[in-house]
Amino acid sequence: MKRILITGAAGFLGSHLSDKFIDKGYEVIGMDNLITGDMDNIAHLMPLENFSFHHHDVSNYVHVAGDLDYILHFASPASPIDYLKMPIQTLKVGSLGTHNLLGLAKAKGARMLIASTSEVYGDPLVNPQPEEYWGNVNPIGPRGVYDEAKRFQEAITMAYHTYHGLETRIIRIFNTYGPRMRVNDGRALPAFFSQAIENKDITVFGDGSQTRAFCYVDDLVEGIYRLLHSDYSLPVNIGNPDEITILQAAQEVLEIVEGTTSKIIHQGLPKDDPKVRRPDITKAKSILGWNPTVDRHDGFRRTYEYFKTKLK
């Protein structure tokens, strides 16, 4: 049985990845310091013989007994509300945490995949964003703690790959949504669904013309699984290229949430908020044979059903 360490295992993506690898017959070692993770996300896995959980901060020394085949590094605050509140922890998990885990991977001879982000592109000057685009990032702006942590994470991962010959994979994750997102995590879709379900005004920043491309979590997890088992070591975008405006996303949420009396209001645009965001997934298609399959309206409806259970 292959053994895999998944950091951030109690989080939104980490918990879905834990499910995926359990279903594939792996022994999964979950690790999370729970500053943004939720044990409810993995409660169904705790009784399983091939799942174990360690409450630990990977910014500190990481020890895992026995053999280890793979590491997925998904530990990090991942929404603006989190990394504005926890800037130091965000920088540390992207730098010290990644360094610790790369050292562990080297010692164990494990292949390591890191969760990078479309935020490495900053407020992009090209659209869609290919992996070759170097980005337009403000390193000292309010989002810099997350953007630069992820850019450093990519740099040190490639350094371990080229200098030590470590097997590494880099995924750049674009906006992802689905069940187990935190209700109050501050990102657009959780905010819209929460506000609409509770009959509060839906808050759209700016005029809502900024664009995003939303990928359902099942599609993302499949892309991660394929990338981990591929032979490609350079960054790969995984996301849904179906680009819509934030205003359109808010309107679609209103159409899905039954009986809501919410209306859309506008507030000022946050500093350095990206105006466009859309992945070029040419590499994912050609190298991984991957393409998103979940229609946005279907994905929105599944997400709505989840948020209903959390809010009512």
Cβ-in-10-Å burial (0-12, 13-18, 19+) of 121 comes to buried
Residues 273, 152: Cα–Cα separation, whole Å: 20
CA 19 to chain centre: 16
Residues 282, 131: Cα–Cα separation, whole Å: 10
Instruction: Tell the residue number behind the tokens 């506008």, with chain if given.
Output: 266
Of 146, 292, 169, 176, the C-alpha closest to 227 is: 169
Q: Is 237 helix (H, G, I), strand (E, B) or coil?
A: strand
Q: What is the CA radius of gyration of the chain?
A: 19
| Alpha carbon separation from 73 to 98, 168, 228 (Å, rounded) | 7, 11, 12
Contact of 287 with 236, CB cutoff 8 Å = yes
| Alpha carbon separation from 167 to 17, 25, 156 (Å, rounded) | 20, 22, 13
- Residue among 26, 70, 121, 146 flagged as catalytic: 146
146 in catalytic set? yes
* Catalytic residue annotation: 146
